[in-house]
Amino acid sequence: MADLGGTRQERARVTHAAIIDAAAAEFDERGYTGASIDAVAERAGLTKGAVYFHFASKAELAGAVIARQHEVSQEYGAAAAARASSPIEALVWSSQAIATQMVREVVVSAGIRLSTEDATREVDRRQEPYTDWTRIAADLFRQAVDAGEVDPAWDPELLARVAVPAYTGVQKVSDILTERADLYERLRELWTVLLAAVVTDAVRPRIPGLVAIIAPLDDRPGGPSDAGPPTDTHVTAP
């Protein structure tokens, strides 16, 4: 009986994940208002009742997509931090990782879309990615100040509060104008301006090399393997 219970639990886990993947694709394509439980069920190859068994409402399902987006982002963020040789480089690698997620991971693109739509103001966990990103950015800016990379006249909390919304705005405009085709280029411009304003004179000559980190997977040395975690466990963009 224990084995049967384990099998049922595994089936439930797989179904739960499949619903989140299907919902991510639906939300990414249609937004929160345009998406429906019927369409999610059809994408997942399930009945509407099966979807409701796992998620009581569209809002709860949207919250699950945002939570999954945050998990994927943390995976990429950990990989970015591991490859960086300094705090300021970690910030740039993190930006590269988020950009890679946005163009390759449907669940990330969907989660970010959901968290920026007015219609999802009451969705649970909507603010969590932004508060977490701001906290991480502030910590890295603080470390960069201590390492002599960022001018100590700057408040790390202030820099984080500016950098995260600026990044969000750049990706949003890139999505509207080019469906993120120019995302890396626009982010290189953003970081060129930000770094020029805050780094110390010793770091200033490194700015071109730092912003060059923000490039598509195929443009980086070694190809896709050095840009973040493997994507074969996530729903990826076509």
pTM: 0.76
State the average pLDDT over residues 128-139. 87
Q: Looking at residues 38-50, what average pLDDT do you find?
A: 94
Specify if 238 maps to a domain.
no
Residue 237 has pLDDT above 50, yes or no: no
Min mean pLDDT across 40-49, 117-126, 137-146 is at: 117-126
SS3 annotation, 188-237: HHHHHHHHHHHECCCCHHHHHHHHCCCCCHHHCCCHHHHCCCCCCCCCEC
Residue 43 belongs to some domain of the structure:
no
**In this predicted structure, what is the pLDDT of residue 3?**
53
For the cut 90, the answer to whether the pLDDT of residue 9 exceeds it is: no
Q: How confident is the model at residue 235 (pLDDT cuts 50, 70, 90)?
A: very low
Average pLDDT for 62-68:
91
What percent helix, strand, coil does the chain show, rounded to 5? 75, 0, 25
Whether 125 maps to a domain, the answer reads: yes
Q: Angle 2-34/106-116 helices, nearest 10 degrees?
A: 50
**Burial readout 124-135 (b: 16 or more C-beta within 10 A, e: otherwise):** ebbeebbeebbe
Q: What are phi and psi of 199, to 5 degrees?
A: -80, 160
For residue 230, pLDDT over 60 is answered with no
Residue 4 lies in a domain: no
Q: What value does the mean pLDDT take over residues 42-67? A: 93
Report the domain count for the chain. 1
Residue 76 neighbours by CB under 8 Å, 6+ apart: 97, 98, 100, 101, 228, 229
> How high is the pLDDT of residue 218?
60
Q: CA-CA distances (angstroms) from residue 99 to 20, 75, 155? A: 21, 14, 25
**β-strand partners of 236:** 105
The residues near 238 (Cβ < 8 Å, ≥ 6 apart) are none
Using CA atoms, how far residue 158 sits from 115, 184, 187, in Å, is: 22, 24, 19
Q: Which amino acid is at 189?
A: E
Residue range 78-115, pLDDT digits in tens: 887 788 999 999 999 999 998 988 888 899 889 888 88
pLDDT-based confidence at 122, cuts 50/70/90? confident
**pLDDT tens-digit series, residues 190-210:** 999 999 999 999 999 999 999
Q: Taking a C-beta distance cutoff of 8 angstroms, is the pair 92, 161 a contact? A: no
Q: Is residue 31 part of a domain?
A: no
Residue 59 in any domain: the answer is no
Q: What 3-state DSSP class applies to 150? A: strand
pLDDT of 234 over the 50 cut: no
- Establish if 165 belongs to a structural domain: yes
Domain, as residue range, for 163: 66-226
Distance CA 97, CA 92 (A): 9
Kindly tell me if the per-residue pLDDT of 5 is higher than 70: no
| Band (217; pLDDT cuts 50, 70, 90) | low
- How confident is the model at residue 115, as a pLDDT? 84
- CATH number of the domain enclosing 121: 1.10.357.10
pLDDT digits (tens, 9 = 90+) for 158-193: 999 999 999 999 998 998 999 899 999 999 999 999
Rounded distance between C-alpha atoms, residue 12 and residue 145, angstroms: 48
76 has a pLDDT exceeding 60: yes
Residue 123 counted as domain residue: yes
| DSSP secondary structure letter of residue 105 | B
Is the separation of the CB atoms in 214 and 184 below 8 Å?
A: yes
